[in-house]
Chains A and B, each alone.
Chain A
């Protein structure tokens, strides 16, 4: 089935190693959960592309269907869905997130 929103998501994920679909932008997050993930990635020193779903309602719904995940933010590394805010925070605390980045060949500080 041809879905232009899914095509666009696939393109974003193929062009960027680390993608965060979020509310607002990395500089100005519009939601505490999105802000928390931005902070985790910043602390890790990971370069990422933040995509603001608030400016595009079709993307906002599309990304939820794409991953079968009902909430935002959503973090992807090398095209693979890692999790939402709770999972990302848990993985950051245990050191798993840094390990995942290293395993996937993504530079951290």
Chain B
């Protein structure tokens, strides 16, 4: 079942309040997204732990309601160039 990008962003920011979330709808079908999440909360955590924090914020919708979301996480320091403020 598709989800709106704004809905995904709201969920993530509810769980990780300082997160910057950059979402792209890869196929335009509301079911295949890529998301870049940048937060101080990721500092010192492994990639697996960072992704698990995002999954927890998504409250079970990842892998369920949402079929596919390519996920990249970063702290403000190691965010990719295009996402730097």
B63 neighbours in A (Cβ, 8 Å): 64, 70-71
**Interface size class, chain B:** 10 to 19
CB within 8 A of A86: which of B52, B60, B64, B70? B70
Q: Chain A nearest CB: distance from B62 CB in Å?
A: 5
Q: In this complex, which of A68, A81, A91 has the most chain B Cβ atoms within 10 angstroms of its Cβ? A: A68
Please judge, given known A-B contacts A64-B63, A70-B55, A70-B60, whether A87 and B68 are in contact too, CB under 8 Å.
no
**Interface size class, chain A:** 10 to 19
Please judge, given known A-B contacts A69-B52, A69-B55, A70-B55, whether A87 and B64 are in contact too, CB under 8 Å.
no
Q: List B residues at the A interface (Cβ < 8 Å).
A: 47-48, 51-52, 55, 60, 62-64, 68, 70-72
